[in-house]
Amino acid sequence: MKNKMLGTGEKGYHPMRKLRVVFSGLRYAVADFSVLYKVILSGIMLVPVVLYNGWIDSSMIVLATAFMIAAEMFNTAIEAICDFIHSEYHEQIRLIKDVAAAATGMAIFAWVLVLCIECIELWNLFAVGS
């Protein structure tokens, strides 16, 4: 796709090409076990939440999972760019990677918090219902 600001790239907008790029990036992200198990945990939690808690709770899980996956993908991209620019150890590169990892950690914390709250709500629903 042509970049209007830089004047680079190909002419024309192709939505199918954009979707292919998106799914290609998602495939690479989910191929990493640290992302895959989180997606699986979210999927497992999503089923009972959809059945028993409703759409708002389900939306929170989907949003928290998407936020966490996006943070993991940004972290991976930042680390790859840093390694491409400077492959040996460098203190400034370490700081950049640490900040990216901290941002990912905050996203994971929010994701875990949402899943824990949903687990507690499901536990209370089934404990009271028994």
Q: Categorize the per-residue pLDDT at 107 as very low, low, confident or very high, splitting at 50, 70 and 90.
A: very high
Query: Global pTM?
Result: 0.78
* Residues 11-47 pLDDT 10s: 666 778 888 888 888 888 888 888 888 889 999 989 9
What proportion of the chain, given as a percentage, has pLDDT over 90?
Answer: 43
Please report the DSSP string for the chain in residue order. --BTTTTBS-SS--HHHHHHHHHHHHHHHHHSHHHHHHHHHHHHHHHHHHHHT-HHHHHHHHHHHHHHHHHHHHHHHHHHHHHHH--S--HHHHHHHHHHHHHHHHHHHHHHHHHHHHHHHHHHHHHHH-
